[in-house]
Chains A and B, each alone.
Chain A
Amino acid sequence: MKKLMICVFCISFIVGFVAHAQKVPINFDKYHGFTGSESFLKAVSNAYPDITDLRVIGKSTMDRPVYVLIISNKKTGTPLDRFVQLRNPRQEPVDNVPPMTNDQAKPGHWICGSTHGNEFTGTEVCLYTINKLVTGYGSDTEITDLIDRNSFYICPIVNPDGVYNSVEKDLSQRGNSLMKDDDHDGKINEDGPDDLDGDGRITSFRYKDPKGQYIQDEVDPRIMISLGEKDKTDKQRWSVIREDKDNDGDGKRGEDSEQGFDLNRNFPEVWFDDNGYQGGTGDYPTSATEVQALAEFFSTHHNIMMAQFYHTSGGFTYRPMGVSSDVTMHPKDIAVYDLIMGKKYVEMMGDDMPKAWMYPDSIGDYKKDLEAKSGNKFAAARGYEMPRTWVVHYNEKENKRYGFGLQSDWAYQEMGIYSITTELFNYRMDLPGNTFTGDDAYTLFQHAALKYQQAKANGAWFQDWKPFKHPELGDGEIGGWYPQYQSNAFPGEILEKICETHWLYEKYRASLLPHAVVTEAKGKVVEKAGSYRIIEVTAKVENTGKLATNLTRGAELPGNRPDVVWLIGDRDNVSFIQGLAWQKAGVLDGTMSIPGFPKGKTSNEVKWLVKVRGNTPLKVVVSSMKGGTNAKDVEIN
């Protein structure tokens, strides 16, 4: 018995210890790729069942799941459909409306990575963010509060096939995978890149070629310098291609690979060009299964109000728009983006802040100034040029769109979401102790990066060139950066620093979300009879969050309804004399001031006159699409 007691004690001690340690350890010394991310997500959702839910929201062409990890306290947030009693249903049994889930009753924050398969730094930031959230829950009050009051939707990999090929196979793939006969020869994906030297990775093949566009770097001949088309040189010219040969004997290399198209041009916002022909990618907007998975998830999670679509690289953030100019956005939304969110980001990145952001009261003067000086009419209209780290895709100088069908534009324009796209990692600044500027910045970075990978990874990220006889091109050499290290943040300290900065930035954005709350629910008996009372119910609903319960754009959108307030009571015992069961509360402004815009009402009062039999309790429920659902019992005096 004593032994057993000790055993029990030991076990509980161990369990207790493990619970306090990190339940699912993770580090950022290497990339997780698809496989690593998948197992991490599964482990986290098993380890933290009370605050996480792992969903498969779609499948890629190669049948890999697109995962979303929902992080939100499952005990908080009661959705509206639990309160409202329905009766006399239609006889036809159509069960098309799934019960709402708790996360949908809280403001949503979407974070995703790897829309482009070879830009998986964002995947790592997502995993880092997940780790911070789940390990901080219960110990860090700020994080605990965020998970209790909000819902995070984290999709580390939008493009599973692209990431799998880019990391697991070390074959850089930006687009999705498609079973498509690109060269119309009747065969599908028969001629992609090839692992010529059999080392399991697709690096580069370089060969001497009098017409080549490369020369070797003088300082480090492992580095190939790209020449401009008109550049002249006395040095040996080289051509550099991907490791590849002609697999189907048609005289072409790599003309029918698994690579499909760019998913970040497949979204519905301005997918067509001005003449009604295809502008974006795919057969039609959202034709990619991965894009449809996102579109469908957003369409069934209208509570999402923040979105971050991580890409690489550049070290700056795009806020909308890219397919059109600022003219298509509401000025107040622009102010929230730039003067609130942009200001924070620029601060965190240590970039130069536009004067107008520091002194918004003088914005009129800056506008006049820019009208006179700047050729950019959009900057003049705003009162500032965009700083280096907070920009728009749209080419404002030439008044030209950046492209078609961009995800972040779509999320803002069609879903009413504060969406941004951060281009993670800046080779000019992110290598510790270095800043590279000028025309040869990239070459200087390469010198430093080669030394860095020698010191940190014992040279494991770069394959030194070794001779290889190409079946079609003859003698040459295979080598170069392993593709996964070519343009993403290097694993270890560099990646971790980027993860930390951007997790903190999204944590800040999460703290801006609105929260619709019933702050007062009172009933005054105005008439009393034997079996019933007539009660005047007064409810006050308030937005205690920082931003309004809808974007200005959002409030215009079909399907983005205004906030509503329901009075709930047993239908057999409560009848409405004045005021319908639910009433509109409109859009409730947030507690934060938006420079340049008058403060709107953060609260609203709603009244009903109801006839109540017996002691039937009454409840007031506020339901805001993006500000959450909240209930309070009515106190009857």
Chain B
Amino acid sequence: MWKSTREAVEMKAMNIYGIREGVRDVRDVKKEKNVKNVKKGWWGLIVWLLMLTFLAGPAVGQNKLQQSAGGYHGELDFPWSWKRYYSYAEWTQMMKEIAKKYPDLASVESIGKSQMGRDQLLITITNKKTGDHSAKTAMWVDGAIHGNEVNGINCSLYLMWYLLTRYDYDPYVFNMVNDRTFYILPGLNVDANASYVEYPNTENNPREPYRPEDDDNDGLYDEDRTEDVDGDGELSMMYAVDPKGDLKLSPDKRQFISIGDEKDYPGLRYRRIGTEGFDNDGDGQINEDDIGGPDPNRNYAYGWNLRDGNPYPMSEPCTRNAYNAMLARPNIFVSFHYHNTGRLIMFTAPQPMPQQSAQQSQRSQQEREFGQRGTVQERLAEMRKINKYAQLFDRQVASEFQHDLDVQTSIVTAGARILKDYTPTFSGLSGQAQATSYNMLGNYAYLIELWGNPTYEADLNGDNKVSDEEYMKWIDIELTGDGWINPHPFKHPDLGEIWIGGSGKKHVGRTPPSRYIETEADRNAHFVMYCVNQFPKVQVADISTTPEGDDLYWVDVTVRNESTYPTASDRSKKLERIKKDKLVISTSDKIQVISLNEKLPFNDPAQGFRNAHNPGLGKETELWLKGNDSQTFRYLIKKSGGKGWIEAEIISERGGKDKKRLTIKD
């Protein structure tokens, strides 16, 4: 008990230290202190001193640190229910209000207007006092590019709310909001989002932005939309009684099911007509030209094609505004794009190697790495004996993109753990936001397919699937009967006597019912935060000297990035969007750095006559730090006179800065 409290306080002290010093890694400080092995009794005093310094100083502080995992973490500071869906007016109002409550941490702005003139609100979250949002490495999150996939809005809003309400209580959030920037666009396709929540719709519609489109090629645009024919507030299915129909009512009279092999089924038979609606244009068809233009997630530029993404790339105000907003924020490093459904962590992987080169080796890169230890599948099975979330992908990429694939593999492995029963997989390329984010901007990009069949709750026979019967049981038990529209007869003005019903209500299929919203949003917020926590953070890990004799010294400088993400993705290097990391050496007056030859091996007995380190060639070295990378540079210095110092500073566009100074005595 005492120990854990002590550690929490220690953590906090170190956080403060980290912030005040700018870029030092918390873990490193911890190690240093441990090495010093200070007696326990002294700790309290040190912490107190640090806290006093902090309280006296101008730096930002965490006022209400919550040390107990079971304690209050600020969730009622901005009370909000995560057990329902909200209208556009409600959730945009909430964004404005929460930004007003946390003015030092959040700003809301409109990045543009949708087709129908709705503002697309973006919230920027970072501690404004520790630096401008644009100066920090950033996470982009957008939700609900598909109008009906509004659980993406809730997940985005939840992340926003979690970061802001917990900031004062939770050191993890506190650090993250101080050091990094979050750009969150909860609803991307706001017109269709608004309609989905506020009007009768099926779980699948409306999906696209509202560009008029002539789906049925009759010369008119969006002229035959869906209608809630029976006025019950839900958009269900219509069925006609038909002696040749292939459907019958289920025994419990709640569903229309197949007559199956009973070709001579004697009872009442039905035929499915389609979604509820009228024949608006009198052409004998119903709902054949519903509202909606191109698929917005085929409307991005990368891999765009005319058939799916028409009429032209970035043609829709909502997608164009979102992408322009990303372009205007070049500090974005990772992007998340929420969709439903299917519980997938889709990520943009580097393109596979061209056929020609791939044929040279039948086995994938990763297979070769594992040598003779079997195929990817066998190896994965082996790995999963230790970690059931382990991931491995059968894709051979060009060697210059291998690190991106490795990094993504590592991140989605953690994602699978955090999100539970989500499956990591590659995402598509054709005009999709995440593909464009990776391939054109160089960001690590993820498409999350939220929710899906509640297999873990509904599957009774353990076949990992949900049958119709199991699904109905889930409706009855977990949803306590709510969520189903029973078949009922109705007199339709165009069709005469028909039946309507036999389908789930709107928030039962692709968007989770209320009681499941929060769990899903919470896990997803944690995955986003995990990724931010893995943003690169460079450090000068070590600087040490070895006398060479006379007044010459070898100086070894080790720079390190312990995060999973490198300081630049392989793709962004190709796109030349990020400057290389820089290692800068400076010295006191009487110390001189001697130029070394890049090509010759070190003649260094201690290292055994081998080319042990990168030769430190001059005062400035350019390098890339990968994820979990450590590189040592060896300099030769000449010291004339007495005491002096040498300082190494690592400067990274995405990974921050760090420096260390070493004093060399006589």
Contacts and interface: CB of A to CB of B under 8 A. Distances in A.
Interface of A: 80-81, 84-92, 94, 96-98, 268, 271-272, 276-278, 283-287, 292, 295-296, 298-299, 414, 557-559, 561-562, 564, 566, 571, 576, 580-582, 584, 623, 625, 629
Contacts of A295: 311-312, 315
B278 A299 contact: no
Nearest to A625: B219
B282 A85 contact: yes
A104 to B, nearest CB: 11
Contacts of B191: 94, 96
B71 interface: no
A483 to B, nearest CB: 32
B134 to A, nearest CB: 12
B115 interface: yes
Contacts of B223: 81, 84, 86, 97
B218 interface: yes
B210 A88 contact: no
Q: Which 3 A-B pairs have the closest CB atoms?
A: A561-B217, A299-B311, A88-B278
A91 B227 contact: yes
Nearest to B226: A90
Given A295-B311, A576-B284, A581-B284, A276 B220 contact: no
Given A87-B278, A284-B440, A414-B312, A94 B323 contact: no
Nearest to B225: A90
Interface in B424-445: 436, 439-440
A334 B222 CA distance: 35
Contacts of B323: 284
Contact of B306 (A88, A557, A584): A557
B165 to A, nearest CB: 34
A98 B351 CA distance: 42
Nearest to A568: B282
Interface string B298-313: 0001111011001111
B284 A414 contact: no
A86 B494 CA distance: 13
Contact of B313 (A86, A284, A566, A625): A284
27 contacts: A80-B220, A87-B278, A88-B493, A89-B225, A91-B228, A92-B199, A94-B116, A94-B195, A94-B291, A96-B210, A97-B212, A97-B221, A276-B302, A277-B575, A278-B440, A284-B323, A285-B314, A298-B311, A299-B310, A414-B312, A559-B311, A561-B214, A566-B218, A580-B285, A581-B283, A584-B217, A625-B219
A191 B213 CA distance: 46
Contacts of A414: 306, 311-312
Given A276-B303, A581-B284, A625-B219, 20 more contacts: A81-B220, A86-B280, A87-B280, A88-B280, A96-B222, A97-B222, A268-B313, A271-B313, A284-B313, A284-B323, A286-B314, A292-B320, A298-B311, A299-B310, A299-B312, A562-B217, A564-B219, A580-B283, A581-B282, A582-B283
A283 B327 contact: yes
A268 B116 contact: no
Contacts of B643: none
A42 B130 CA distance: 53
Contacts of A278: 440
Interface of B: 115-116, 191, 195, 198-199, 210-214, 217-223, 225-228, 278, 280-285, 291, 301-304, 306-307, 310-315, 320, 323, 327, 351, 436, 439-440, 493, 574-575
B440 A564 contact: no
A285 B301 contact: yes
B226 A96 contact: no
A86 B301 CA distance: 36
Nearest to B279: A88
A74 B222 CA distance: 25
Nearest to B222: A97
Contacts of A86: 223, 280-281
A527 to B, nearest CB: 21
Contact of B315 (A84, A296, A558): A296
Given A97-B212, A277-B575, A286 B306 contact: no
Contacts of A81: 220, 223
Contacts of A581: 281-284
Nearest to B285: A580
B327 A564 contact: no
Contacts of A277: 574-575
B222 A580 contact: no
A287 B116 CA distance: 21
A582 B219 contact: yes
Nearest to B306: A414
A558 B306 contact: yes
B622 to A, nearest CB: 17
Contact of A582 (B218, B221, B351): B218
A96 B303 CA distance: 28
A219 B266 CA distance: 106
Nearest to B210: A96
Contacts of B226: 90
Contacts of A94: 116, 191, 195, 210, 291
B14 to A, nearest CB: 35
Contacts of B351: 276
A296 B574 CA distance: 32
Contacts of B493: 88
B155 to A, nearest CB: 25
A59 to B, nearest CB: 14
B59 to A, nearest CB: 27
Contacts of A284: 301, 313-314, 323, 436, 440
A96 B147 CA distance: 15
A298 B579 CA distance: 40
B195 A92 contact: yes
A293 to B, nearest CB: 12
A226 B240 CA distance: 82
A88 B302 CA distance: 41
Contacts of B440: 278, 284
Contacts of A566: 218-219
Contacts of B214: 559, 561
Contacts of A557: 306
A564 B334 CA distance: 48
Nearest to A414: B306
B349 to A, nearest CB: 13
A278 B577 CA distance: 13
B281 A84 contact: yes
A299 B314 CA distance: 13
A97 to B, nearest CB: 4
A91 B220 contact: no
Contacts of A296: 315
Nearest to B201: A92
B219 A561 contact: yes
A94 B191 CA distance: 9
A268 B312 contact: yes
A441 to B, nearest CB: 41
B655 to A, nearest CB: 20
Contact of B227 (A90, A272, A283): A90
Nearest to A96: B210
A580 B219 CA distance: 14
Contacts of B307: 558
A123 B33 CA distance: 74
Contacts of A91: 199, 227-228
A431 B115 CA distance: 51
B438 to A, nearest CB: 11
Contacts of B301: 271, 284-285
A268 B313 CA distance: 7
Contacts of B439: 276
Contact of A564 (B115, B198, B217): B217
Contacts of B198: 92
A268 B304 contact: yes
A495 B556 CA distance: 73
A68 to B, nearest CB: 17
Contacts of A286: 312-315
B219 A80 contact: yes
